[in-house]
Copies of this chain bind each other. A is one copy, B any other.
Amino acid sequence: MPLRIESVSFDAEDPLMQGRFWSAVLGWEHGIDEDGDVWVEPGLGHPDNGLVRPLLFLAVPEPKATKNRIHLDLRPDDQDAEVDRLESLGAARVSVGQDGTEGWIVLADPEGNEFCVLGES
């Protein structure tokens, strides 16, 4: 494999806060490396351990300025229950032009990064 995805990396004003949010969202673990970068990845007991690539949160000085060009789509077992849970964790519903009939729900994380909660598979 000449080239492999190592991580999906997010600029963050507060990498630790973002890492805590996303580890709660996905049921993954988080840790900080010597540079202050925060990793979020499936822990030893998680079915995706060693399989799914981690998320990485990197400190930047500037806040998010516009709708992201790249986002995560998340598949729930129960869309309504998951959206309720995510809102309780600090996610907020946002509008990016969807009309509400698409079947997915658009949320943003605490720093405004948009993501979608799809319908049940």
Residues of A within 8 A of B (CB): 1-11, 25-27, 47-48, 51-53, 56, 64-66, 68-78, 81-82, 85, 113, 116-118
Contact = CB atoms under 8 A, between A and B. Distances in A.
A10 B68 CA distance: 9
Contacts of A81: 2
A9 B70 contact: yes
Given A51-B51, A52-B52, A2 B77 contact: yes
Contacts of A53: 52-53
Nearest to A54: B73
Given A65-B66, A66-B65, A74 B3 contact: yes
Nearest to A86: B3
A97 B111 CA distance: 22
Given A66-B65, A69-B64, A113-B69, A74 B10 contact: no
B27 A74 contact: no
Contacts of A85: 2
B73 A71 contact: no
Contacts of A71: 8-9, 70
